[in-house]
Amino acid sequence: MKIIHKFKNKKIENESDDPGFIITNRNGSYFSAALNNSRYDGFFIFENEEMYKILDEIIVNRPINALINKFSSIALERENLLQDIHMFKNFNSLVCLFDKFTVIELLLDVKKSYDNRNFGRYYKVYEEDNKIIVHFDKKTSGLENEPEGRDEYSMYIVINIATYSTPGQWIKRAYSYDKSRNSLPYERHIYHGLKTITKKLIISASLNKNKAIKENDFILKNLDGLTKKHEKYISNLLNKFNHKNKEIDFSLKCSTNALDQLTADQGILAGLPWFFQYWARDELFSLKACSLFNKSLAIQVLNKHTETLVRKGNIYSNKYSNLTAKDATPLLALRADEIKNGNYKIILYLNNPVKYSIPIENNALETWMDTASGNDNRSGVRIEIQAMYLRVFSILYGLTKDKRYKDLEKNLTAYIRKNLFRGKKLKDGLNDETTRPNIFLAYYFYPDLLSKKEWITTFNSSLPNIWNNWGGFSSIEKSSPLFQPNYTGE
């Protein structure tokens, strides 16, 4: 299939045998589709910090010849038909426009994203005030070892069409991408809910019926204005980054748009479709790039994590986790220093040279590698944590001119070179020779730790042990008994 990225009068194109796309409302909700499909594809809404699937697929029985990323929307060039897909900022609605009247079918699968229970799903489809209303109820089922018939939640789907038929059948769907990953379940029964003909499809969803109806009405009445407003937003966003090389230029625009699509009112989501939570490390790593096009959100995220640190004495992996993130505190300090207009309260919090001792130690599961296997929990002295605190000491010295920070920086550097550096290898931990990609984090945070020649030697000796032929690093050397060649990440 032809894939085209198009912005104003520029475009770049290529062929793909595994096409797919995702578009979001920049507040957690999204619509995605792929040739190699997944149960995580479809239309999802993010409401009350919970992800709900609404729709599995919009069936249009015309083959797709080209997928066009217009950044403000996704266009599908079908056989004798053009389909344009929109999501507008902060609206839990999906808009599909066709250049001629088209027969479409909607496959419904209302559920919480991770909930794959089969029983206790009830759909009611009816017409109200020239709109289709789908009322979904989720109840518990005795067939799944739960109390029978207890109400869990209701979802309302509102569609701007009054003429329709209801096949009303449960059909079995197979998800090829999930099967290839051995991610269960890769088959599921979903509801063949609607069949209609239209040129303009607006699907709104909410746990609140009136909210969904009002939003659907608003979009229907203001579609042209919303479209122009969103096109202007995208134009302003992408015009911030330009390059004379067309491939680099579109890479910049695609990566900017991708990160912006992960932004939400309260921060930056870890990743869609799977990780729709706010994770401290993921937010903080993304923050420098985010600050280049949305500085107010970057400062908001800095403030959020600083307040957590000051109030609780730690930053946690996410708000629902009991795992503390030892690396999040120095990362927060680095981002505050880089963004400049960020919250320097973190610097004041860290400004106490007598509380630091060399080396910096962390407890079990406090690093980004927070999966344990036996005694392998990465407690103790870890290379990336040392490098991060070297950067903190450098920042604190630059701000305070307190010589004690310069001494801490010098002494920790000497400790690392004596205890963790072996001429051709930078150890992952004090008593751990295992090769892991944390050496690259060490370089990122404190490149002055080694000379350029020493870094090159270190990388060259480590890369063969962790490089995967499909492209990317394993989190542990491939010769380790802990290495898993196949893993879904679930």
- Tell me the HSE value of 274 on the side-chain side, using a 13 A CA sphere: 6
d(CA 242, CA 253): 8
Instruction: Decide the pairing of beta strands 151-159 and 187-206.
Output: antiparallel
d(CA 253, CA 425): 37
pLDDT in tens, 372-403: 777 788 999 999 999 999 999 999 999 999 99
d(CA 477, CA 388): 23
Contact assessment for residue 6 and residue 69, using Cβ atoms and an 8 Å cutoff: yes
SS3 of 204, please? strand
Task: Look up residue 241 and give its DSSP letter.
Answer: -
Tell me the pLDDT band of 103, cut-offs 50, 70 and 90: very high
On the question of pLDDT at 4 being above 70, the answer is yes
Tokens of 170: 């449960």
SS3 of 248, please? helix
d(CA 250, CA 256): 10
Which segments within 8-92 are labelled E, that is strand? Answer: 10-15, 20-24, 30-34, 42-47, 50-59, 64-69, 74-78, 81-86
Per-residue pLDDT averaged across 261-281, rounded?
A: 96
Per-residue pLDDT averaged across 140-152, rounded?
A: 96
The CA-to-CA distance between both ends of the chain, in Å, stands at 30
Tokens of 82: 């053009």
On the question of pLDDT at 134 being above 90, the answer is yes
How far lies 474's CA from each of 132, 341, 385, 457, 467, in Å? 49, 36, 19, 19, 6
Average of per-residue pLDDT values in the chain: 95
Tell me the pLDDT band of 148, cut-offs 50, 70 and 90: very high
Question: Which residue type, as a one-letter code, is found at position 66?
Answer: A
Q: What's the pTM value of the predicted model, to 2 decimals?
A: 0.94
On the question of pLDDT at 342 being above 70, the answer is no
On the question of pLDDT at 471 being above 80, the answer is yes
On the question of pLDDT at 343 being above 60, the answer is no
Tokens of 74: 């996704």
Which residue's entry shows tokens 């993130």?
Answer: 325
Other residues' Cβ atoms within 10 Å of the Cβ of residue 414: 11
On the question of pLDDT at 344 being above 80, the answer is no
291-298's contacts with Cβ under 8 Å and 24+ in sequence apart are 291/338, 291/339, 291/342, 292/240, 292/241, 293/237, 293/240, 293/241, 293/256, 293/260, 294/260, 294/263, 295/339, 295/341, 297/263, 297/267, 297/268, 298/335, 298/339, 298/342
Proportion of the chain above pLDDT 70, given as a percent: 99
**E strand or H helix at 122:** strand 121-128
Per-residue pLDDT averaged across 404-420, rounded?
A: 98
Question: Which residue type, as a one-letter code, is found at position 479?
Answer: S
pLDDT for the residue 371 = 76
Phi, then psi, of 372 in degrees rounded to 5: -100, 150
**E strand or H helix at 111:** strand 93-112
pLDDT for the residue 92 = 99
Contact assessment for residue 51 and residue 28, using Cβ atoms and an 8 Å cutoff: yes
Pseudo-torsion of CA 349, 277, 74, 290, nearest 10°?
A: 10
Q: At what angle do helices 383-400 and 403-419 cross, to 10 degrees?
A: 160
pLDDT in tens, 69-97: 999 999 999 999 999 999 999 999 999 99
d(CA 289, CA 239): 15
210 contact partners, CB below 8 Å, separation of at least 6: none
d(CA 471, CA 316): 30
Query: Which of 481, 378, 369 is CA-nearest to residue 432?
Result: 378
On the question of pLDDT at 417 being above 90, the answer is yes
d(CA 411, CA 227): 58
On the question of pLDDT at 341 being above 80, the answer is no
Pseudo-torsion of CA 165, 166, 172, 177, nearest 10°?
A: 60
d(CA 332, CA 90): 28
Tokens of 55: 């729709």
d(CA 22, CA 8): 20
CA 64 to chain centre: 27
pLDDT for the residue 489 = 65
pLDDT for the residue 41 = 98
Tokens of 151: 């109400």
pLDDT for the residue 372 = 75
On the question of pLDDT at 276 being above 60, the answer is yes
